[in-house]
Every structure is written in structure tokens, then in C-alpha cells.
Amino acid sequence: MPNTAVTTVILAAGRSTRMKSSIPKALHPIAGRPMLGHVLATVSSFDSNRTVLVLAPGMDDVARYAKGVSASLDIAIQEKPLGTGSAVRAAEAFVPPRDGVVLVVFGDTPLVRGQTLSDMIGACRPETPVVVLGFEATDPTPYGRLVLNTDGSLARIVERKDATVKELAITLCNGGAMAVRAEHLFRLLARVTNENASGEYYLPDVVKLARAEGLGCTVIRAPEEDIQGVNSRAELASVEAVLQHRLRRRAMDSGVTLADPETVYLSADTVFGQDVTIGQNVVFGPGVEVANNVTIKPFCHIEGGRIEEGAQIGPFARIRPGSEIGRDVHIGNFVETKKAKIEEGAKVNHLSYIGDARVGAKANIGAGTITCNYDGFNKQFTDIGAGAFIGSNSSLVAPVKIGDGAYTGSGSVITKDVSADALAVERSKQFEKPGWAASFRARFSGLKKAGE
């Protein structure tokens, strides 16, 4: 990208009216990240000098999220919903006057690529100070058309309702985003009127005004899928599908085997090493890192954890936030971990819950073991030493420490610390009554016959 000052203005004042939601549109998640987060990540990819987020009054939750992602971001308020031109004008106080390029993007179009926006900025030169994002539409019916001059420059943007029959045949459509040199943008916006059916000030009118002054306007094209906006739950699902396809392809290109790609769901921040194998119906929530040579078997859900090299997970395992799965660890079927550090070579193979705990290297956790970590008010810690053997159906009542190499007998409820290399067994004494079962059956069999 040329060395020029760039101010990016993100329009995100939508309130999810058509989505029938109390959650602002910009915060609806796609691939584990709020929609606005994707736009902010794209903007950060080309080092915008300044970013201004335009919101409606009262959208404090959106502002907090955005500031959490980019503390240097400025917040502008569009006091009344009077159109995209009005929204951009709300950001004027944050844009350095007569300096560089102003890039306008939308908070509900999360699929636009950073390279496309960088190309728009690069094309925004003194001789072409207005650049519009365009796309070839499969069905252009809902969109404004981009009318070109014979030299390929942009002549005007025509709204669908105002288009002639000839103009309606155009398939090159307005993708929304625009780059305008700062020395022209707000002067042109000040001349935009609201003389239209909606009584709003439209950003695309800048093109008509620029051309009237003899200023050059041009178009940068993007694939149609890249400019998909989100105004409904159906459109949210459509954008999710596109992004999942991109993420799966990126994973496979980096050395990940997906047994059935369409059934694996990734988050935008999922990180994989090489030679990772993932089975069918696996879901990755936010915050997951997977090292080399890891196998994740079908029907696992993994969120907020790191899995080290050589580990095997699943099938039907749930790895919850704060889990650290060490090198060559085995986590088996119907095992759940939460805020647990499972050290190198340890095994938790069957039907167990390990939460707020450490499992030492090469320890073995028997089937049905649970760490009883919650007392109704606080979470307590369980420490299981290296080489320990926890018998099946053990309950470890935290806080408790199992020493290195210690054993617990199957079916035990362990409430006290166990010394290294010791055996701890907690069971009531087994006793036997000869013949009891036969007499029990005979008694109740007779009562049943009498009642028939």
C-alpha cells in the first residue's frame, strides 16, 4: 500500500431491527468473533493510521467491545439515523483535515478482504480521489448500479428505483465501501441533500458531486461473496458458511487433515500446527491452539485451550476454557476438562470430569473419576501428582492433593491428601446375607400373585 495517511471510518450504528434481536448487529458472532471484530481485524491488517467507529446513541456495549480490541480507536455518534452520508459526517471531527485518504467501510460486511481495501486506498490518488467498491452480481436486482464511462472510469451510481431499463441490465453493482481523499470528502458531503424518498443523506451521492466538479472516480472490484452484508438471521448464516469455508481451506492448506470438512466448525482465531488430524463433527470455539501431530477424533468440542504435540483427543470429548493438554496426553470419550493442566503422557480415557486441577505427567485417571471442585460458592483445586493412579469411579473432593505415584482404590471418595506412593481406599465394609435374594424374590412374587 502506498505510504499515505489513512483514516478508516467504520459505520456500525445498526440496531438489529430486522434480526429481531436485542443484541446490536455488530456484536452478533461469526466464527466465534463478533461481526465488528472481523472488520477491525481486517482494518488492522493494513495499518490504518486512525480508525473511527460511528455508532448510534446508547450503543455503549459496542463501544466497549471495540475499545477492548483497539484502545486507540475513536468513537463518533450519529445522533439521528439520517443515512450513510450523515453517518460519515459524524466522524468529521476525528479526521485530520486535508490529509491522506478516508476509507469508509461497514460494520456488517465482515467478509471484505484487507487486500481489497488496500487496493482501494492505493487507487485513491489526486487524479482519482473517489474510489468505490464494486462487484459483479449474480442477481443485481436489489443493488445500486455502477455506470462506467467508455474509459472504464466511474460515471455515476444509480439506485435501482431510479435506473432506466438499460441501466437495470448492468451487473456491476455498488459494494458500499468507498475511499475518498480527505481534502474532498467532507466538502462534497456538505452538499449532499436528502431530497429522496427516504429523506436521508446518501454517501454514494458523493460520486455524482465529484464528477460534476470534474474529479476522477474509479472502481475496485471484489468477488460477490466478499461484500455480503448482514441484516437478517438468514444472512448471518450465509456469511458464517462462507467464512467457515475459508477457514477450513486455510487449515487444510497449512497441513491439517479434515476427515469431513463441512462438519468441522472453526473460530476465526483457531491456530493449528502441521499434521493435525481432525475427525467429523468437531467444533472449535474461540481461543484454541493446537500443536503439531495432534489427533482430534469425531464429536469433540474444544474452546479456550491449548493442545500440545502428539496429544489424542476424543471421541466425544469436551475441552473447556483454561485447559492445557500436554504433550502425548490421551483424553478419551466423554471426558470433560475445565481450567485443568494435564501434563505430558497423562491419560484420562473414559467418562471423567477434571476441573480446576493439575494431572501430573504419566498419571492415569480411571473411568468415572470426577474432581469435586465446586462447594456452591468457590472453586477449589485438585493436585494429582506425576505417575499417580486414580481408580475408577473415584471422587476427589477439593481442595485435595494426591502425591506422586499414589494410588486411590476404585469407588473411593477422597477428602484428605494422599502421600506419595501411598494407597488410599475409602469404602464402607462389604457384608453378605446368605439366601437373602431368594427369599426377597419369593416374598414379593407371592404378593404380586395375590394382587392380580
By C-alpha distance, which of 277, 270, 280 is closest to 296? 277
Angle subtended at Cα 329 by Cα 31 and Cα 300, rounded to the nearest 5 degrees: 35
Q: What is the largest CA-CA distance in the chain?
A: 106
- Which uninterrupted H or E stretch holds 9? strand 6-11
CB 337 within 8 A of CB 346: no
Query: Residue 217: CA atoms inside 13 Å, Cβ hemisphere, count?
Result: 25
User: In degrees to the nearest 10, what's the CA dihedral of 254, 255, 259, 264?
Assistant: -30
Cell of 83: 443515512
Distance CA 359, CA 363 (A): 7
Task: Return the SS3 of 388.
Answer: coil
User: In degrees to the nearest 10, what's the CA dihedral of 231, 237, 239, 242?
Assistant: -170
Distance CA 30, CA 245 (A): 12
CB 323 within 8 A of CB 339: yes
Catalytic positions, please? Answer: 350
